[in-house]
A and B are shown apart, each in its own frame.
Chain A
Amino acid sequence: MNIQGSIYRRLMLQLVGSAAILAAILFLLFQSFARQLAVESQDTTLKASASAILESVSVQQGQVVADIPYAALAMLGNVSDDRVFYQISRGTDVLTGYEDLPRSLDDTSWTAKYRDDPIRLVKVSRSLPINGSLTTIAVTVAQTQDGLAQKLGEISRTAILIGLIFFAVATILAVWAARSSVRPLNIVAAAVSRRGPADLRPVTTPVPSEMAPLTQALNAFIARLDRSLSQSEDFIAEAAHRVRTPLATVRAQAEVTLRRVDKEENRVALKQMIRAVDESSRAAGQLLDHAMVAFRTDHLERSKLDLRAIIEEIVERQTPIADLKDIEFLQTTAPDCIVLGDTILIQNALTNIIDNAVKYSPNETVITVTLEREGAEVVLTVADQGPGFEADNINALTDRFARGTNVGQTVGSGLGLTIANEVAKAHNGTLTLKQSTKGSGACVTLSLPA
């Protein structure tokens, strides 16, 4: 599988990322808004103070008199512990207060540096008649910004907290959103992977519209697979039939001819022909069986199988052939030997093993078939009294088309043990070839998980 990235992770990153950006923007907005509000509120107090002082300025006998109300400065102290400066001036003359306070031409509020500290100043003015002419009296009230800075610090902390809470909530929502967006994918994936191998129905799980094309494609693919699978199975059966039927005809014709022919050399030729036909027929059958096994192992159709019943059935089928050679079957089969497996495959494997035993055993011998449970496994042992395997290369016999040199005239294709071995592996079991412990003979063991 070629996995690149993850929708879930990308969604999460995008959602969390935008949440982070939003939180940062929220924080900055909140802070600048708070700063503006704080400065405005300081300006308001300063302006109230300056206006109260300006109100107290009057002209008495041509003299400017200022009777600063106590509250004008006291009220600044109620808001914060900031230092307070003020000035009353007439034109450029400072009448009272701090002489070196920064000046402005207009009535306004502004920030300036005074005695090394930033201060906020508000200037208000009005005209008073002095000796018949209007003169402008200006009052400036200023305050340091310690309280403002402190208030802003507090607000910043609150803003950070709000930003973090926003971010946390957004992250939780992002996880939820990402999960729920990916959930339909997981649901379909689970539904499809839960299916048995033979279940090739189209996917009907409800899906969101975005997933419709994918589901449609999947369904089309399943339909195609279904078609080609049934075609393959049909094809294999058909092929076996098509090869075997003409071969059987040829063999029958050759048998008939053999009976009529007297000339020794013609008889030998005919016998060779019959043998070749047998080999071909066997090879064709085994090849197709092998193809079928290979095909079915890809999608095992597991069901509960009672091995005892299967063994008995196969032995029964082999009995006529065994009888011809006076071979006797000795069966010891335990009950409850249930395995999960594909009937056709298991039958095929067992047939091949027992077929070998019958085929390679000499006349008047005994084949011992034992079926028992060993812990978590079901073990089938088929032991004969024949020549046994060739000692050198026992395990190579499970290779394709591998035949022993001791087979003599016995017809075979070398695929029987290959099939048995593949079936064993497909069921997580093992096939073991050994020499029989009781004297001569081959001993084949097939163990499958119970």
Chain B
Amino acid sequence: MRYFITACLVLWTSMAHAYEIEAQTEFNAEGATSTLSIISTTDTAVFAPVIASFQVANPQINVNYTAASSSQINTAIVEENAQFDIAISSAMDLQTKLANDGYAEAFDSSSTTLVPDWGTWRNSIFAFSQEPATIVLNRAAFKGQKIPQTRAELITLLRSQPKKYERRIGTYDVRTSGLGYLFATQDSRTSETFWRLTELMGQLKVKLYCCSSDMIEDVSTGQIAIAYNVLGSYAAARDDLAEKIIIIEPQDYATVMLRTALILKDSKAQRAAGLFMDHLLSEAWNEQPINQGQNLRRIPLGPGLLVFLDRLKRQQFLQEWSSAIFQ
């Protein structure tokens, strides 16, 4: 989270909060009569245009935007009872758990009918973007070389040149990253190549990351050659690095994460939250999403997502993952 908007925004980092808010930004509108508090995993810079266009239509609403990690969001809402109106997160499992445990308010409006069936659960969680997990490669490292298009090809490549790729692969540290954990668990459900790949990455002393942006940065500088399970949307957003990296949607399957928003039950600004939701959803679903390739595997919303959040299940998965990674 390294892009902060400074112009005309008040910005500070709050260390005092127990849930360690990373950055809280106030988008003040002139003549505003109410304030909408959003807690979100999306970087402030990435989300600022959405808020700006929202405020053009609704100048009476101030927006208080807090960027946080998915587990921080969970802690803030479940344990600290922090006052937020909307939670936006890439961690579909945690969002589902929030809704399942009664922290989300059901919402119904003309805009929610735009959301496809697979993009909503209980009329509480609403998807507003689909983002595939990709493999990002350093362009220089793969110069004149065949680009792996599937996990199997990646495995073959790593096996054939272990020396070249040792310590030059990166992936999420699923113990700390909520999104990394979600991608990994869904991978493990989809195909057993995941475990072969994980084991192989373990043998090649994989570098573990907290976030996609760090991985993209390191690939672009050539510190690592391959980053696995990187948010494609983040990589594609880095126009400045387009010359240096190659983004690959694996042809065998690409896990697609739905970025979702929900209105919190405790919200004191339900009306403003509804307006924001309408804005977000109508922007997102105004045009029917183009039918994507067959290799895209959308993570389904629903109680299934609770499974890997189970304490024992998580313990077991992490154990297995750790023994594959740290050999």
Contact = CB atoms under 8 A, between A and B. Distances in A.
Q: Do A and B bind each other?
A: yes
Interface of A: 65-74, 76-78, 81, 83-86, 88, 95-97, 115-117
B306 A73 contact: yes
A73 to B, nearest CB: 4
B59 interface: no
Nearest to A143: B303
B300 interface: yes
Contact of B302 (A68, A77, A115): A77
B303 A68 contact: no
Interface in B296-327: 300, 302-304, 306-308, 310-313, 316
Nearest to B123: A81
Contacts of A116: 102
B304 A66 contact: no
A65 B312 contact: yes
Nearest to B186: A70
Contact of B311 (A76, A96, A117): A96
Contacts, number: 61
A83 B99 CA distance: 8
A366 to B, nearest CB: 105
Given A70-B189, A74-B300, A115-B102, A84 B306 contact: yes
A226 to B, nearest CB: 84
A93 B238 CA distance: 50
Contacts of B99: 83
Contact of B303 (A67, A69, A84, A96): A84
For B122, B189, B303, B304, the residue with the greatest tally of chain A CB atoms inside 10 Å of its CB is: B303
A74 B300 CA distance: 9
Contact of B312 (A66, A69, A81): A66
Given A73-B303, A73-B304, A88-B312, 16 more contacts: A66-B310, A67-B316, A68-B312, A70-B304, A70-B308, A73-B307, A74-B307, A78-B302, A81-B121, A85-B100, A86-B306, A96-B312, A96-B313, A115-B101, A116-B102, A117-B102
Nearest to B302: A77
A408 to B, nearest CB: 110
Given A65-B316, A66-B312, A66-B313, A71 B304 contact: yes
Contacts of A86: 306
Residue among A69, A77, A95 with max Cβ neighbours from chain B (10 Å): A77
9 contacts: A68-B307, A73-B304, A74-B300, A74-B302, A83-B99, A83-B101, A95-B312, A96-B310, A115-B102
B307 A70 contact: yes
A88 B307 CA distance: 13
A67 B304 contact: no
Nearest to A69: B307
Nearest to A146: B122
Contacts of B102: 83, 115-117
A73 B303 CA distance: 6
Contacts of B307: 68-70, 72-74
Interface residues of B, number: 20
Nearest to A74: B304
B121 to A, nearest CB: 6
Contacts of A115: 101-102
B47 to A, nearest CB: 28
A81 B118 CA distance: 12
Interface of B: 99-102, 121-123, 189, 300, 302-304, 306-308, 310-313, 316
Nearest to B121: A81
B310 A97 contact: yes
B116 to A, nearest CB: 15
The interface centre, meaning the residue of A74, A86, A88 with most chain B CB atoms within 10 A of its CB, is A74
Contacts of B302: 74, 77-78, 81
Nearest to B124: A81
A288 B77 CA distance: 116
A77 B303 contact: yes
B100 to A, nearest CB: 5
A69 B303 CA distance: 12
Given A81-B121, A83-B102, A84-B100, A68 B313 contact: yes
B139 to A, nearest CB: 37
A79 to B, nearest CB: 10
A66 B316 CA distance: 8
Of the listed residues B100, B189, B316, the one surrounded by the most CB atoms of chain A closer than 10 A to its CB is B100
Contacts of A67: 312-313, 316
B240 to A, nearest CB: 39
Nearest to B311: A96
A140 to B, nearest CB: 14
A415 B36 CA distance: 111
| Closest 8 pairs between A and B when the two form their complex, measured CB to CB | A74-B304, A77-B302, A84-B303, A66-B312, A77-B303, A73-B303, A96-B311, A96-B312
Contacts of B306: 73, 84, 86
B183 to A, nearest CB: 15
A68 B100 contact: no
A336 B110 CA distance: 86
A70 B300 CA distance: 12
A88 B316 CA distance: 15
B312 A83 contact: no
B70 to A, nearest CB: 20
A63 to B, nearest CB: 10
A385 B296 CA distance: 126
A149 B306 CA distance: 24
Q: Which of B102, B123, B189 has the most CB of A within 10 A?
A: B102
A19 B187 CA distance: 61
A204 to B, nearest CB: 74
A118 to B, nearest CB: 13
Contacts of A66: 310, 312-313
A81 B121 CA distance: 7
Nearest to A116: B102
A77 B313 contact: no
Nearest to A64: B312
Contacts of B304: 70-71, 73-74, 77
Contacts of B303: 73-74, 76-77, 83-84
A101 to B, nearest CB: 12
A83 B312 CA distance: 20
A84 B99 CA distance: 10
Scoring A70, A86, A97 by chain B CB atoms within 10 A of each residue's CB, the highest score goes to A70
A88 B312 CA distance: 10
Contacts of A76: 303
A95 B313 CA distance: 11
A70 B317 CA distance: 13
B317 to A, nearest CB: 9
Contacts of B308: 70
A115 B100 CA distance: 11
Contacts of A74: 300, 302-304, 307
A69 B307 CA distance: 7
